[in-house]
Amino acid sequence: MSLSTRDIKAMLPHRFPMLQVDRVTELSPGRHIVAEKAVTGSEPCYAAVPDDAPQHAYAYPISLMLESLGQSGCLLWMQSLGRAAYEGRTALIFGSARGLRLTSRVLPGEVMRHQAWLTAVKGDTAILRGETTAAGRPVLTLESMVAVQRDVTLLA
Amino acid sequence: MTTMTYDPTRLAQIREIALDVLELEEDELTMTSLFQEDHDADSLRAIEILARIEKEFKVEIPQSELPRMVNIEAVYAVVAEHADRDE
Amino acid sequence: MSLIAEVLLHGGSPAPDVAAPLSAVDRTWTDPTGALVAEKLVVADDPYLEGHYPDGVIFPGVFSLETALQATAQHLRALRPGADYELTTIDSVRFTAPFRPGDVLRATIEVGLDDRSGTALVRCRCAGRDGADRATMRLRFTLRGTGPVA
């Protein structure tokens, strides 16, 4: 199955410019997701890059790459829970990540392709692993990330 | 108190999982050093250990066992109970 | 001067020279142990925060990682002028409690340099005013061109 941007926005509370998944091209509930985010030079993170900066200054920020992969994992988990719509009572919180290895960076004009696999679900906790490529080139691998469901009313 | 005989393979597998999740060196983790008090583990790490143990030994361990799983010795005991019961 | 007063007066630190979602470091100093301490006042009108979330701003966990990365880059430039390090591995990152607008994020950064291999091991703890950790990271950097990053 696949998810459109509209489907994604029904499942995640994140909005522009923090919504870091453009579309989902494959989804096997409970198992695996393939999600994409296109990187463009007209995003806020490029606003202050000086004109004489080298090419590597345009590397998409690692924090946003990790957020993008994390959101992809959350979409997989939510779809697996059967939550087609974000109810607003609980949120999926990114708890931790281990073993993130970077092998290349992503530049404007490229599409990040994330894969996430659900390795275990234990109560309100999900453990996933992930991999990102761009233009068929390995970008990063993530050994494990842990997400938890939290009651948002307690966060206020 | 009964003396437990430790299966070396099972023990090594449990240790490997704990060392990985807790990010420790071999010599930092003993049979009795406590995950939470000695190794700064929180509930997320405890659940990660439990989930990986389940996968490794192909057993189901209820979350109610988590409070018991405080060190390697205790985790071994829990695994022994659930793995051997299922056989 | 308090951080809030300094940010109000001077507008916080200039944005980094590389792509970054926001300026995640307002000021830095070295503590008696040689660790770098970086502070960031969390403000709701920083870039990206309007989308996280529309109903109420929470500083994204990954932005505390951004604070760690920006402060570390600054610290490495001071420790090894002219050297150009890049991140190769995040051994671990944990987010235990969120920061919100008005919070002061204080990141303490310890760097272990191995000049033979051109690597830097970094440990960072991000705490709020009460001193309790809300995010911790362990990172590895290598000199650009020597590591696996293409």
Q: What is the pLDDT of residue A153?
A: 59
Inform me whether the C-beta atom of residue A19 falls under 8 Å from chain B C-beta atoms.
no
Q: With a cut of 60, say whether residue A84 has pLDDT above it.
A: no
Answer whether A96 sits within 8 Å of C63, measured CB to CB.
Answer: no
Yes or no: say if C128 and A136 are a contact pair by the CB < 8 Å rule: no
**Exposed, middle or buried: residue B81 (CB in 10 Å: 0-12, 13-18, 19+)?**
middle
Query: Closest Cα partner for A149 from A80, A59, A103, A60?
Result: A80
Identity of residue B34: L
Structure tokens at C140: 């590895």
Which chain B residues are closer than 8 Å to C92 by Cβ?
A: 23
A88 touches chain B (CB under 8 A): no
pLDDT > 50? residue A85: no
Q: Where are the beta strands (DSSP E) in A13-136?
A: 23-28, 32-38, 90-102, 111-122, 125-134
The yes-or-no verdict on residue A27 having pLDDT over 90 is yes
Burial class (CB in 10 A: 0-12, 13-18, 19+), C133: middle
Q: What is the pLDDT of residue C144?
A: 85
Chain A: nearest CA to B51, how far in angstroms?
A: 6
pLDDT at position C10 is 61
Rounded to an integer, what distance in angstroms lies between the CA atom of residue C135 and that of residue C59? 12
**Rg, C-alpha atoms of chain A:** 16
Distance from CA of C65 to the nearest CA of A (A): 6
pLDDT of residue A88: 61
Tens-place pLDDT, residues C19-78? 999 999 999 999 999 899 999 999 999 999 999 999 899 999 999 999 999 999 999 988
Catalytic residues of C, which ones? 52
Q: Give the pLDDT mean for C76-82.
A: 90
Distance CA B36, CA C65 (A): 24
C115-144 residue pLDDT tens: 999 999 999 999 999 999 999 999 999 998
Least confident of A6-10, A44-48, C59-63: A6-10
Q: What are the pLDDT digits (tens) for B3-57?
A: 678 899 999 999 999 998 998 999 999 999 999 999 989 888 999 999 999 988 9
**How is residue A55 written in tokens?**
């090419």
Report percent pLDDT > 70 for chain A.
91
Average pLDDT over residues C96-112: 96
Supply the pLDDT for residue A152.
Answer: 63
Q: Does the distance separating the beta carbons of C94 and B23 come in below 8 Å? A: no
From chain C, the residues in CB contact with A14 under 8 A are 51-53
Q: Tell me if C89 and A100 make a contact (CB, 8 A cut-off).
A: yes
What's the mean pLDDT in A26-45? 96
A–C CB contacts, 8 A cutoff, strictly below: 124
| In contact, A113 and A132? CB cutoff 8 Å | yes
| Mean model confidence pLDDT for chain C | 90
Q: Which helix (H) or strand (E) holds A77?
A: helix A62-81
Better pLDDT: C110 or B2: C110
Asked if C96 lies within 8 A of B23 by C-beta distance, the reply is no
CA gap A25, A150 in Å, rounded: 28
A-chain residues within 8 Å CB-CB of C63? 63
Tell me the mean pLDDT in the region C75-104: 93
Residue type, C147: G
Query: Closest Cα to residue C107, out of C30, C6, C12?
Result: C30
Q: Do the Cβ atoms of C126 and C133 come closer than 8 Å?
A: yes
Of C134, C58, C67, the residue nearest A18 (C-alpha): C58
Instruction: Determine phi and psi for A81, rounding to 5 degrees.
Output: -80, -10
The pair of three-digit structure tokens given for residue C61, joined into one six-digit string: 């966990």
Q: How confident is the model at residue C146 (pLDDT cuts 50, 70, 90)?
A: confident
| Helix (H) or strand (E) run with residue B9 in it | helix B8-22
Place of tokens 């659900």: A118
CA–CA gap between residue A89 and residue A154 (Å, rounded): 10
**Pairwise CB contact (< 8 Å): C138 & B44:** no
Answer yes or no: is pLDDT of C105 > 90.
yes
The pLDDT, as a whole number, for residue A71 is 96
Banded model confidence at residue C2, pLDDT cuts 50, 70, 90: confident
Task: Give the range with max mean pLDDT: A4-8, A37-41, A149-153.
Answer: A37-41
Q: Distance between CA C71 and CA C82 in Å, rounded?
A: 16
- The alpha carbon of residue B9 is apart from the nearest alpha carbon of chain A, in Å, by 23
Q: What is the pLDDT of residue A154?
A: 54
For residue C107, what are the β-bridge partners? C38, C126
Q: Does A96 touch chain B (CB under 8 A)?
A: yes
pLDDT for position C23: 95
Given an 8 Å threshold on Cβ–Cβ distance, is C91 in contact with B23?
yes
H/E run at residue A71: helix A62-81
